[in-house]
Amino acid sequence: MPTITDVARRAGVSTATVSRTLNGKSTVDPMLAGRVREAAEELGYHPNGLARNLRRQETAVLALIISDVENPFFTAIARGVEDTAQTAGYSVVLCNSDENPEKERRYIDIALQERVAGVVLSPTDASSSIARLRGTPVVAVDRPLSDCDQVLVDSRRAAREATEHLIGNGYARIGCITGPTGVRTADDRLAGYRDAVGGASPLERRAEYRAGGGRRAAEELLACSPDALLVGNSSMAVGVLEALGKAGLRSGRDVGVVAFDDAPWATLIDPPLTVIAQPAREIGAEAARLLLARIAEPDRPPVATTLRAHLIERGSSRK
């Protein structure tokens, strides 16, 4: 791979001139500039970003570490981050920690080693890996991280409201299927559910935030004949709905269902799924804004933004 020296030699100028031309920093004689560009073109020269960044001590790339690429909620966040980062001249690379603290740690280390300008993280656990991040701007999304910027959603309240909505619609034995213990959103959603039903209930189940988790939890819970279910996310909802179908139960009429996340398919099913829509893209956009702000001004106090989720009432929560 050709280097700046090759280009310089070929154009008959110094490396400094090549650098200046290609970066458009200082002004360069148009003729030399022409020669440089030509030489670069002919050689198929690509600046070595490693060297450049090493020298400049900065990168225009942001890392986004999310816990599940296959979850539309997180990909929507990714879009939000990306859109606002792009317009600010940053690129974003996405890493999938897969809800796995070990993989998360690996990606954090990589982000650190590659000296990205900042990282947006949906932490798998509340604290562990954050310690490593000292020094690099970070913002947490979806789940809290002590002492840093964060963009959260008021899950607890949303869960409570959704449960109250079910109660208001005449459901009396409401179950809750949520994510694993320790995952903050899962805990919060359970807490909100309890707020509404008046404390812990035997109709609570925890499982992976995936279709399989939802299915297993629902199958188990169905033995207790609940008449409604609050479901922790849309992946789980897929499993829950499958389980309902297999048991010959119709959502709404037999078992009221409300799930977090407004999946694209929510209106396609019959009855359409009542959901708690989270402003995922906006979460991403806000996270990117906070990150950019922190990069610009590393010492400002951390800010926590909490966005609101809102209930979209559809058929699955009406008898």
Number of residues counted as binding its own copies (CB under 8 A): 54
Q: Segment contacting its own copies (CB under 8 A): 19-27, 113-121, 165-173, 298-306?
A: 113-121
Which C-beta is closer to its own copies: that of 14 or that of 53? 53
Rounded CA-CA distance 9/23 in Å is 18
16 binds, among DNA, its own copies, none (CB under 5 to 8 A by kind): DNA
Residue 268 lies near its own copies (rule: CB under 8 A): yes
Tokens of 83: 């859109």
Among 25, 89, 264, 268, binds DNA (CB under 7 A): 25
Q: What is the DSSP track for 24-38?
A: T-S---HHHHHHHHH
Alpha helices in the chain (DSSP H): 4-11, 15-23, 30-43, 49-56, 72-87, 101-113, 155-168, 184-197, 211-222, 234-246, 280-296
Residue 10 lies near DNA (rule: CB under 7 A): no
Instruction: Give the number of other Cβ atoms within 10 Å of residue 310's Cβ.
Output: 13
Which C-beta is closer to its own copies: that of 61 or that of 228? 61
Number of residues counted as binding DNA (CB under 7 A): 32
Among 24, 30, 135, 248, binds its own copies (CB under 8 A): 135
> Which residues 55-84 are close enough to bind DNA by CB under 7 A?
55-57
- What is the dihedral sign for C-alpha 275, 276, 279, 281? negative
Residues in contact with its own copies, shown as a per-residue x/- string from 214 to 233 under the rule CB under 8 A: --------------------
Residue 40 lies near DNA (rule: CB under 7 A): no
Residue 247 lies near its own copies (rule: CB under 8 A): no
Residue 288 lies near its own copies (rule: CB under 8 A): no
Residue 17 lies near DNA (rule: CB under 7 A): yes
DSSP symbol at 129: G
Tokens of 228: 């409604």
Rounded CA-CA distance 118/267 in Å is 37
Residue 115 lies near its own copies (rule: CB under 8 A): yes
Asked if 142 and 175 count as a contact pair (C-beta separation under 8 A), the reply is: no
Rounded CA-CA distance 34/64 in Å is 38
Which C-beta is closer to DNA: that of 29 or that of 270? 29
Residue 116 lies near DNA (rule: CB under 7 A): no
> Which residues 31-70 are close enough to bind its own copies by CB under 8 A?
44, 46-54, 61, 63, 69-70
Residue 20 lies near DNA (rule: CB under 7 A): yes
Among 5, 23, 26, 86, binds its own copies (CB under 8 A): 86
> What is the CA angle 118-120-121, rounded to 5?
130
Q: What is the DSSP track for 239-278?
A: HHHHHHHHTTPPBTTTBEEEEES--TTTTTSSSPPEEEE-
In this structure, the chain runs to a length of 319
Among 28, 141, 240, 273, binds DNA (CB under 7 A): 28
Tokens of 135: 């020094």
Rounded CA-CA distance 211/237 in Å is 7
Binding positions for DNA, rule: CB under 7 A = 1, 3-5, 12-20, 22-23, 25-29, 31-33, 45, 47-48, 51-52, 54-57
Binding positions for its own copies, rule: CB under 8 A = 1, 44, 46-54, 61, 63, 69-70, 72, 75-76, 78-79, 82, 86, 91-96, 98, 103, 106-107, 109-110, 112-115, 132, 134-135, 211, 235, 238, 241-242, 245, 263-265, 267-270
